Every structure is written in structure tokens, then in C-alpha cells.
């Protein structure tokens, strides 16, 4: 916020221009003043970006940043109603700012004609009070979520696919000073890329971004004015095909890799690689049965056994029993703060379990080479072999 | 036990429609996940998806009641 914004009180023209919202009791002159003193960063000037930008501009936000590196193309025009046929090939962020400036000369626009990435995201976002994400790919969504979390900024989220839209508010400041749930509480890690088609791959009904983007602008204005209840802690889902809506409660996920009980992501990462599933897999540490025996003789060793109940009954080393197919749903039962030896009958299933868990951010797991079978043969022949 | 499934996004493509009734043996939500993966192998690609029951996101240890609605909402990225 610049110094002039802080002392920039509503003038006579403002009172006229914004009269229809100022006369709403919940909004009032105070609400308008707050909008005028606010700075909002809108990521993506596409389908969602168009209504977000148009309504935030019209509402009288003091300063609006627009991030988009793309140019207007003909397949955009079916839904990106801010642009017209004469603007094909023009840079979106700059073209949008020029047109929006005509709609409302009182708004300061900042054009960021570049991709947002791990190198520039923190600097870009730090200069604004609120972020509205209308980007079109999963890598940017995780990037913006994580950057907003690290910078303690509230994020208005929306995304679309064919006839469906999602809206939420992430990382919102709560009355007790803590922050609300974020994107990773819903989706801690991305599914494979083919499971998340973009608009260009999966298609989108032209009117849908108009609906969802308008809802996002509504949330942004409510948050800035401080009126009503935001979608913090809720995911709103809309299906234009049958007009069904859901509003689901999101809670903080203890396994969230940035804000959970044991965060493993402490700075921005390479989100392209992360969403393509290209994250380099960490090698799997191993321990022999002799080494494990020596350790168990000298100290307490945390053991997790990923076999089935009936196998455990035949022979076990007293480890916590979590069958392989339950490992992901029982993540929170596996310690992250000390070394844990994972075991099964021969060492194959426990290796698989470690691969799954390392994807969830575990770095403390060791595989028992040869499994309980090796233990029976080499350490304790009195144990039942099976 | 009969469980109602409501699917959004790519999950709708995988299970072949928005609404589906699923017969599951146990009462734990993890059974629904396993049943979906066994009936629709592609659902395995969404194996880490968090499920909502009625209006709340819950863990897989959640105990279901007859006619509960399990809502599948995969991430969508379009803008």
C-alpha cells in the first residue's frame, strides 16, 4: 500500500460512483474506504480472471495487480469476455489493465506480464493484501497456495472443469489469530497429471467461469470489507448441468505437508516437476536383521509391520500392525520424528509402503531386509516359519 | 450396506456417471475406497483423494451408516 492510498479518503465522485453499495448497511462508507485502501493480486487474466477483474475494478479496489504471461487467442473468446476479436495476439495482462482502466479510472493497475514461479512468487504476492487465484494449471495452484501460506496471505480460490466449479477461501485469518485450512488440507499432493485435465484438454462451458469468477470476486470483496461469512473452511462445489451445489467442511489435515503436524515442505519447490510426478524418489534405506537385533538390544526401536492380521498372529516382533493397504489412511499413526523400521514377510511390501510414505513426506523410514523370514532364519529359529 | 456415491470431475468419468450406489461389506470408509478401486481400476490413480461423507471431509477410518452419501471431488485446475 502506498502512502497516498492510506490518506486517500473517499471523494465526492467516489460517493456517487459507489452509492449503490455504500447504501447497504453492512457495507457503508467504511466498507468502501477499506476497498480503496486495499491491494489485490489476481493471478490469471483468463476465464475466471475476466469476471474477477471486472467486478473488483468496478467495486473500487485501490490497487489491482494482474499476472498473466499469455496472449489473447481465438479459443479464449468463447469464455474470456473481457477480450474481443481485435485483440487477438495482444498480451492479456496489459490489454486487461487498459480496458479495466476505462471502466474505473480510480483504480491503480500493475501489470505483471510474466509467469508466476518459485523464483518470483513471494516477491509478487508480498506486495498485496489479498490474492485471487484464477490460474489454469495445478502447478500454479500449489505454488500460489504455498506462497500465500508462507507469507500469511488470504487466498481466494476457484477452479473450473466442463460444467463444474469449485470455490473456497484458503489461509484466512481467523478471529483467534490462526489461519484457516489451505489447498493442501484438501489435496495434500496432486494425482497424476492425466487425472487433472485443463480447460484445453477437458473443455469448459463458456458461462461457467462467469459464475465461478463472480463468486470469487464476491468472496474477495467480503473479506476486504469484513462482512458476512467467507468460504474459509468450506469447499463450495457447483454443477451447472443439474444446478446442484455442495458446501463441504474442510478441516486442518494433520498430514498437510506445509501446515500439518510435521511439515516437510518449508520453502517453495519446483511445482512443475511436483505436479508431473517427477519428484526424484529418495533412495530407500535398509537395515539387516543383525543390525536390527543389535539396535533392539541396546534401545527402543519403533517398528511397523505391514503384513495382514493373520500373518502377524503367526509370528511378529511386536511392531505396530498396519497392513499395506491401510498405510495411507493411517498415516498419522506412523511417527515422523524418529527412525521407524518397516517390515513384512520378505521385505517387498514394506519397501512398497516406504515408497508410498516417502511421497507423503516421510524421511525417517528404514526397510528390514529379508523381513520376518530373515529374522526367523538368522536370529530366532524358534519362531514359526510360514 | 448400500452407500450412495456422488462423483465430480474426472471421478464422474471413471465411475461412469454422477450418481452410483455401491454395496460394501464393512462399515469403514476405507472399504468404499477399496471397492471403487476394484470395480474401477482407473480409480487407483485417485487413490490419495480425500473423501467427504455427507457434508464433511473425513478420514478413511470413518464409520458409515446405511445410505450415507460419499462425495468424490478430485482437484480441477481450469481457469
| Residue A158 at interface with chain B, using a CB cutoff of 8 Å | yes
- Most A CBs within 10 Å: which of B33, B50, B79, as the mutation test of the A interface? B79
Q: How far is CA A139 from CA A51, A126, A127, A217, in A?
A: 23, 19, 22, 22
* Residue A282: pLDDT band with limits 50, 70, 90: low
Asked whether residue A4 carries a pLDDT value surpassing 90, the answer given is no
- Number of structural domains found in chain B: 1
For chain A, domains (ranges, CATH) are: 38-275 (3.40.50.720), 285-378 (3.40.250.10)
The SS3 of residue A283 is: coil
pLDDT for residue A1: 43
Instruction: Determine the number of helices (DSSP H) and then strands (DSSP E) in chain B.
Output: 2, 5
Report ipTM (2 d.p.). 0.95
Cα atoms found within 13 Å of the Cα of residue A128, Cβ hemisphere only: 31
A344 assigned to active site: yes
pLDDT for residue B65: 94
The SS3 of residue A332 is: helix
Answer yes or no: is B79 within a domain. Answer: no
Helix (H) or strand (E) segment spanning residue A121: helix A121-126
Answer yes or no: is B34 within a domain. Answer: yes
pLDDT for residue A58: 98
Asked whether residue A69 carries a pLDDT value surpassing 90, the answer given is yes
| DSSP conformation class of A128 | -
Gap between the Cα atoms of A329 and A263, Å rounded: 18
Gap between the Cα atoms of B68 and B79, Å rounded: 32
pLDDT for residue A167: 98
Asked whether residue A261 carries a pLDDT value surpassing 80, the answer given is yes
Contact B50 A204 (CB under 8 A): no
pLDDT for residue A278: 53
Answer yes or no: is B27 within a domain. Answer: yes
* Residue A281: pLDDT band with limits 50, 70, 90: low
Among A194-208, A299-313, A347-361, top mean pLDDT goes to A299-313
Asked whether residue A239 carries a pLDDT value surpassing 60, the answer given is yes
Contact B61 A329 (CB under 8 A): yes
Contact A48 B45 (CB under 8 A): no
Gap between the Cα atoms of A382 and A171, Å rounded: 56
Answer yes or no: is B47 within a domain. Answer: yes
| Dihedral of alpha carbons A274, A261, B75, A182, sign | negative
Contact A253 B74 (CB under 8 A): no
Question: Which one of B48, B75, B77 has the shortest CB-CB distance to A328?
Answer: B48
Are the C-beta atoms of A65 and A124 separated by less than 8 Å? yes
pLDDT for residue A2: 45
Answer yes or no: is B58 within a domain. Answer: yes
pLDDT for residue A7: 53
Min Cα–Cα distance to chain A from B25, Å: 16
Contact B60 A194 (CB under 8 A): no
A residues 344-383 lying closer than 8 A (beta carbon) to B = none
Contact A195 B79 (CB under 8 A): no
Asked whether residue B62 carries a pLDDT value surpassing 80, the answer given is yes
A22's grid cell: 455504500
Torsion, CA A118, CA A358, CA A180, CA B59, rounded to 10: 150
A6 assigned to active site: no
- Most B CBs within 10 Å: which of A48, A196, A211, A257, as the mutation test of the B interface? A196
Q: Which residues contact A127 (CB under 8 A, 6 or more apart)?
A: A39, A41, A65
A246's grid cell: 455442495
Asked whether residue B19 carries a pLDDT value surpassing 80, the answer given is yes
Answer yes or no: is B78 within a domain. Answer: no
> B23 phi and psi, to 5 degrees?
-95, 120
Per cent of chain A over pLDDT 90 is 81
pLDDT for residue A277: 67
Answer yes or no: is B35 within a domain. Answer: yes
Gap between the Cα atoms of A262 and B59, Å rounded: 18
pLDDT for residue A355: 87
Gap between the Cα atoms of A170 and A60, Å rounded: 23
Query: Would you tell me how many other CB atoms lie within 10 Å of the CB of residue A6?
Result: 10
Gap between the Cα atoms of A137 and A199, Å rounded: 9
Answer yes or no: is B77 within a domain. Answer: no
Q: Which residues of A touch B75 (CB under 8 A)?
A: 138, 141, 159, 186-187, 190-191, 196
Per cent of chain B over pLDDT 90 is 86
Range of B67's domain?
Answer: 2-72
Residue with cell 462451458: A205
Span A85-125, pLDDT tens digits: 999 999 999 999 999 999 999 999 999 999 999 999 999 99
Min Cα–Cα distance to chain B from A84, Å: 18
pLDDT for residue A280: 47
Searching chain A, which residue's CA lies closest to the CA of residue B47? A191
Q: What CATH number has the domain bearing residue B55?
A: 3.10.20.30
Nearest residue to A207 (alpha-carbon basis) of A240, A236, A237, A235: A240
Are the C-beta atoms of A159 and A165 separated by less than 8 Å? yes
Asked whether residue A68 carries a pLDDT value surpassing 90, the answer given is yes
User: What is the arithmetic mean of pLDDT over B25-37?
Assistant: 93
User: What is the arithmetic mean of pLDDT over A4-18?
Assistant: 82
> A218 phi and psi, to 5 degrees?
-60, -45
A67's grid cell: 499476472
| Residue A136 at interface with chain B, using a CB cutoff of 8 Å | yes
Ranking A3-7, A111-115, A197-201, A304-308 by mean pLDDT, the lowest is A3-7
Asked whether residue A357 carries a pLDDT value surpassing 60, the answer given is yes
Amino acid at each position: 500500500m502506498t502512502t497516498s492510498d492510506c490518506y486517500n479518503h473517499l471523494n465526492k465522485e467516489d460517493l456517487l460512483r459507489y452509492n449503490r453499495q455504500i447504501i447497504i448497511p453492512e457495507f457503508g462508507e467504511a466498507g468502501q474506504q477499506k476497498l480503496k485502501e486495499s491491494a489485490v493480486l489476481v493471478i490469471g487474466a483468463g476465464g475466471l480472471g475476466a469476471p474477477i477483474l471486472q467486478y473488483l475494478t468496478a467495486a473500487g479496489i485501490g490497487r489491482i495487480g494482474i499476472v498473466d504471461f499469455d496472449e489473447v487467442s481465438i479459443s479464449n473468446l468463447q469464455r474470456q469476455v473481457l477480450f474481443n476479436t481485435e485483440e487477438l495476439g495482444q498480451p492479456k495482462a496489459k490489454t486487461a489493465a487498459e480496458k479495466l482502466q476505462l471502466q474505473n479510472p480510480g483504480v491503480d493497475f500493475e501489470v505483471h506480464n510474466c509467469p508466476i514461479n518459485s523464483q518470483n512468487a513471494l516477491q509478487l504476492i508480498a506486495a498485496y493484501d489479498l490474492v485471487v487465484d484464477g490460474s489454469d494449471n495445478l502447478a500454479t495452484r500449489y505454488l500460489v497456495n504455498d506462497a500465500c501460506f508462507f507469507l500469511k496471505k488470504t487466498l481466494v480460490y476457484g477452479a473450473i472443469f466442463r460444467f463444474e466449479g469449485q470455490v473456497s477461501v484458503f489461509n484466512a485469518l481467523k478471529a483467534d489469530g490462526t489461519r484457516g485450512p489451505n489447498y493442501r488440507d484438501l489435496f495434500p499432493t496432486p494425482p497424476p497429471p492425466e487425472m487433472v485435465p485443463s480447460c484445453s484438454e477437458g473443455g469448459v462451458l463458456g458461462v461457467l467461469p462467469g459464475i465461478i469468477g463472480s463468486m470469487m470476486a464476491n468472496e474477495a470483496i467480503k473479506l476486504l470489507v469484513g462482512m458476512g461469512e467467507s468460504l474459509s473452511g468450506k469447499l463450495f462445489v457447483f454443477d451447472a448441468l443439474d444446478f446442484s451445489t455442495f458446501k463441504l467442511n474442510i478441516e486442518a489435515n494433520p498430514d498437510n505437508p506445509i501446515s500439518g503436524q510435521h511439515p516437510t515442505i518449508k520453502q517453495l519447490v519446483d511445482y512443475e516437476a511436483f505436479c508431473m510426478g517427477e519428484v526424484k524418489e529418495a533412495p530407500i534405506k535398509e537395515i539387516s536383521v543383525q543390525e536390527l537385533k543389535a539396535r533392539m538390544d541396546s534401545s527402543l526401536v519403533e517398528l511397523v509391520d505391514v503384513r495382514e492380521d493373520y500373518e502377524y498372529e503367526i509370528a511378529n516382533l511386536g511392531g505396530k500392525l498396519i497392513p499395506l493397504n491401510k498405510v495411507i489412511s493411517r498415516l498419522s499413526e506412523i511417527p515422523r520424528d524418529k527412525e521407524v523400521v518397516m517390515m513384512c514377510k520378505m521385505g517387498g511390501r514394506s519397501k512398497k509402503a516406504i515408497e508410498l510414505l516417502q511421497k507423503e513426506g516421510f524421511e525417517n523410514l528404514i526397510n528390514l531386509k529379508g523381513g520376518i523370514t530373515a529374522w526367523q532364519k538368522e536370529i530366532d529359529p524358534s519362531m514359526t516359519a510360514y | 450396506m448400500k452407500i450412495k456415491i456422488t462423483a465430480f470431475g474426472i471421478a464422474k468419468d471413471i465411475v461412469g456417471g454422477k450418481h452410483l450406489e455401491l454395496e460394501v461389506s464393512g462399515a469403514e470408509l476405507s472399504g468404499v475406497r477399496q471397492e471403487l478401486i476394484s470395480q474401477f481400476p482407473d480409480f487407483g490413480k485417485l487413490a490419495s483423494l480425500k473423501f467427504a461423507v455427507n457434508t464433511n471431509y473425513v478420514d478413511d477410518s470413518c464409520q458409515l451408516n446405511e445410505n450415507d452419501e460419499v462425495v468424490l471431488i478430485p482437484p480441477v485446475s481450469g481457469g
